[in-house]
Amino acid sequence: MDQAVFLFEILLPALMQGLVVTLQLIACSAPFGLAFGIAVAVGRQYGHPVISWLCKTFVFLIKGTPLLLLLFILYFGLPSIGITLTAFAASVLGFILCNSAYNAEYIRGALISIKDGQMVAARSLGMTRWQAIKSVILPQALRRAIPGLSNEFIYLIKYSSLAYMLTVIELAGAGKQVATKYFLYTESFAAVGVVYLVLVSITTVAVSILEKRVAVPGTVRATPSAQL
């Protein structure tokens, strides 16, 4: 078979279909992973001791469980207690749990780094604790968490390929199918790798644009330390 025919008529169309599924997985997981991550970090740092303990335990359990095992539990294990999820839903749920636990750690680190004075000043003006967290602490902490959060987002792009283990034909799975059908492993997997690389590159550029846009004028963080 002609190389060009294989590439443009077989491999790329299959990969594009897989890519759409990968993007769907990411789009369904990342926003909730971020929102839940913020909630867990704030709960752990500022919540009632019981809430704080629950958040800490959640992060500990997720950190301690291989993601693949978590996905197997959600997809193959939950039906035994009467909860049946589609492969796609189980994957998204697993990714949200995993993504949020790690995001929570990055955000918690950023929360700790915000000086006490910010909270003290907010409370001295009559703000409730929650108002202070929402309007003063989180906006600053999230800016500081961007490098960590973007790292975690890049992991998500890559570990979304584990959905293939639950029969979701996403990007890596699409590549695998073509590879086994035509016995062209190197070509297929190299092409898959290139697509992931493109996704990661786009993310990296987008994050650096975001970082510049939300940078607070006058802070050292906004300028490269090489200038110091």
Partner 1 sequence: MNDNDIVLKVEEIYKSFGDTEVLRGVSFDVRRGETKVFIGPSGTGKSTLLRCINQLTIPDRGRVWLDGEEVTNSGARINYFRQKIGMVFQNFFLFDHLTALKNVELALLKVKGMGKAEAREKALTELRQVGMEDWADHYPAELSGGQAQRVSIARALAMDPDVILFDEPTSALDPELTREVLEVMKKLARNGMTMLVVTHEMGFACSVANEVLFMENGVVAEQGPPDLLLNDPRFTRMKDFIGRIDSRMDD
Query: Which residues here bind partner 1, judged by CB under 8 A?
Result: 117-118, 120-128, 131, 135-136, 139-140, 143, 216-220
| Whether the Cβ atoms of residue 104 and residue 41 lie closer than 8 Å to each other | yes
Which is nearer to partner 1, 24 or 118 (by Cβ)? 118
Q: What is the 3-state secondary structure (H, E, C) of 140-188?
A: HHHHHHHHHHHHHHHHHHHHHHHHHHHCCCCHHHHHHHHHHHHCCHHHH
Kindly state the smallest distance separating residue 146's Cβ from partner 1, in Å. 13
* CA 29 – CA 16 distance, rounded (Å): 20
Q: Where does residue 2 rank: exposed (0-12), middle (13-18), buried (19+ CB within 10 A)?
A: exposed
Kindly state the smallest distance separating residue 109's Cβ from partner 1, in Å. 17
| Whether the Cβ atoms of residue 7 and residue 195 lie closer than 8 Å to each other | no
Measured CA distances, 90 to 23, 65, 76, 82, 104 (Å): 16, 16, 9, 14, 21
Measured CA distances, 226 to 41, 74, 148, 215, 222 (Å): 32, 47, 21, 17, 12
Kindly state the smallest distance separating residue 119's Cβ from partner 1, in Å. 9
Kindly state the smallest distance separating residue 3's Cβ from partner 1, in Å. 54
Which tokens in the block code for residue 60?
């500990």
Kindly state the smallest distance separating residue 135's Cβ from partner 1, in Å. 6
Kindly state the smallest distance separating residue 122's Cβ from partner 1, in Å. 8
Which is nearer to partner 1, 73 or 214 (by Cβ)? 214
